[in-house]
Amino acid sequence: MNHFEYKDGELHAEGVRLSELANRIGTPFYVYSSATLERHFQVFSQALWGQEALKSPKGEAPLIAYAAKANSNLAVLQTLAEQGAGADTVSEGEIRKALMAGIPADKIVFSGVGKTDEEMAFALKTGIYQLNVESKPELERLSHVAGSLGLVAPLVIRVNPGVGAGGHAKITTGGAKDKFGVSAEEAIALYAQAASDPNLAPLGIACHIGSQISDLVPMQEAFSRMKGWVQELRAAGLSVERLDLGGGLGVPYFNQTEPPPPADFAEMVALTVGNLGLRYTFEPGRLISANAGIMISKVIHIHERESSGQKFLVVDAAMNDLMRPALYDAYHDIRPVVAPADPLKATYDVVGPICETGDTFTRGRTLPVARAGDLVAFMSAGAYGAVMANEYNSRPLIPEVLVREDKWAVIRPRPSYEEMMNREVLPEWLKPHSDKA
Ligand SMILES: *Cc1c(COP(=O)(O)O)cnc(C)c1O
């Protein structure tokens, strides 16, 4: 459920009329709903927090570490922080943003296959909850970095459970050939190595099998393998206190299999890996933010190819603003912002202005008949949208807006052309050609 609904024939974000917002700030832009972010976080968290079998021996409920990479705007992070969210981060920049948004260090997880020494040092000095170590060279560098700081690194080993799942090859991460994590045998050897290293505190194991998973079966399979490895480590005399089960639960992108409700997921988790005397962590990303955001764009014109009758709906947003369709053939529902009085429909290829064939949001989509100047909404754009945007074709980053009831605020402004160009610097051998553009 989200808070983007038609009222009096016009799409609103909570109490804010989107055509009004478009008049005020110009298109394209992203808009997020606070109520939807909060609701998604609460539905997922309450389902897991309600499972007795998932309480730690000290009575701690699972840590819900929102995967900041899905949408790391400070206002989004702070909205979630105020609901009790931790953060799963993949860079020093994300750790800094999480801290700035008020997420305490002891709720921050640091994941990723290529953490640098500087990033590890930063994470250790801030007193992070854990680093999710993904390889032997990383473990050895972490030991070195922790030793040189006189600190002990809290870590879990990311195991690749050999179960691939997810909507697309580019978002599957748990298959045996994907780059993430180590094999189970290697994990056990690394864990023992870490346990005998005074700079390292191995606390548990982690997995994240992919994204956009709409089937509990592969997850359950992966989790039950994780349980087996926890038992194997313990049988070898090693202490295991934590289990991180990753993110990846899918969200409805409107044309796909309905993902399981969080309550069913929580029940499956409790049955599969509950009551093991562990503190559990989950890292949902898109589940929290995807359907809490949309992108609003304006139709520039409609180009009808005379030979074939093929119609191109050319909009002012492009692949640099919302990369998911170009990157993973992702589906976004496209809706008119003002519900058309006319029931007439037409079939369009919806494209952006960028000089790449890949700059196509969808082909052959049947939509209400559109006209130049109409506003359209790309739904489910709150995760992996603004965070992936870039300025290809010298198109300034589009703004982000956060709505709360009938209030709205620009939470990342659109840079002016001047600001965009001022980030680039001429070397001294090239004299400024012109101060203005
Ligand atoms: C990307 C990622 C997540 C979040 O994935 P979603 O599909 O957005 O839920 C969680 N954990 C790790 C390690 C990730 O890389």
Tell me which residue has its CA closest to atom 8 in ligand 1.
Answer: 285
Which pLDDT does position 255 carry in this prediction? 58
Q: What is the DSSP string of 308-365?
A: T--EEEEES--TTT--HHHHH-----EEESB--S---EEEEEEE-SSSSTT-EEEEEE
The Cα 241–Cα 186 span in angstroms is 19
User: Which of 355, 425, 426, 437 is flagged as catalytic?
Assistant: 355
Residue 370, pLDDT > 90, answer yes
Summarised one tens digit per residue, pLDDT across range 9-43 is: 999 999 999 999 999 999 999 999 999 999 999 99
When pLDDT is cut at 50, 70 and 90, the band that residue 293 belongs to is very high
The pair of three-digit structure tokens given for residue 383, joined into one six-digit string: 């995760």
Residue 167, pLDDT > 90, answer no
Cα 73 to its chain centre, rounded Å, is 11
User: CATH code for 4-31+290-422?
Assistant: 2.40.37.10
| Residue range 149-169: mean pLDDT, rounded | 84
Angle between helices 216-235 and 262-273 (to 10 degrees): 30
Ligand 1 centroid to Cα of residue 410, in Å, is 26
Residue 213, pLDDT > 90, answer no
When pLDDT is cut at 50, 70 and 90, the band that residue 108 belongs to is very high
Q: Which residues of 81-96 are buried (b: 16+ CB within 10 A; e: fewer)?
A: bebebbbbbbbbebbe
For the chain, where do the domains classified as CATH 3.20.20.10 start and end? 34-288
The Cα 49–Cα 116 span in angstroms is 34
207 in active site: no
Ligand 1 centroid to Cα of residue 222, in Å, is 15
| Residue range 353-362: mean pLDDT, rounded | 94
The Cα 96–Cα 87 span in angstroms is 11
The pair of three-digit structure tokens given for residue 399, joined into one six-digit string: 């703004």
Ligand 1 centroid to Cα of residue 317, in Å, is 26
Residue 280, pLDDT > 70, answer yes
User: CATH code for 34-288?
Assistant: 3.20.20.10
Residue 166, pLDDT > 70, answer no
The Cα 18–Cα 13 span in angstroms is 7
Which pLDDT does position 177 carry in this prediction? 65
Summarised one tens digit per residue, pLDDT across range 296-323 is: 999 999 999 999 999 999 999 999 999 9
User: Is the CB–ligand 1 distance for residue 283 below 6 Å?
Assistant: yes
For the chain, where do the domains classified as CATH 2.40.37.10 start and end? 4-31+290-422
Question: What is the value of pTM for the model shown?
Answer: 0.95
Summarised one tens digit per residue, pLDDT across range 69-86 is: 999 999 999 999 999 999
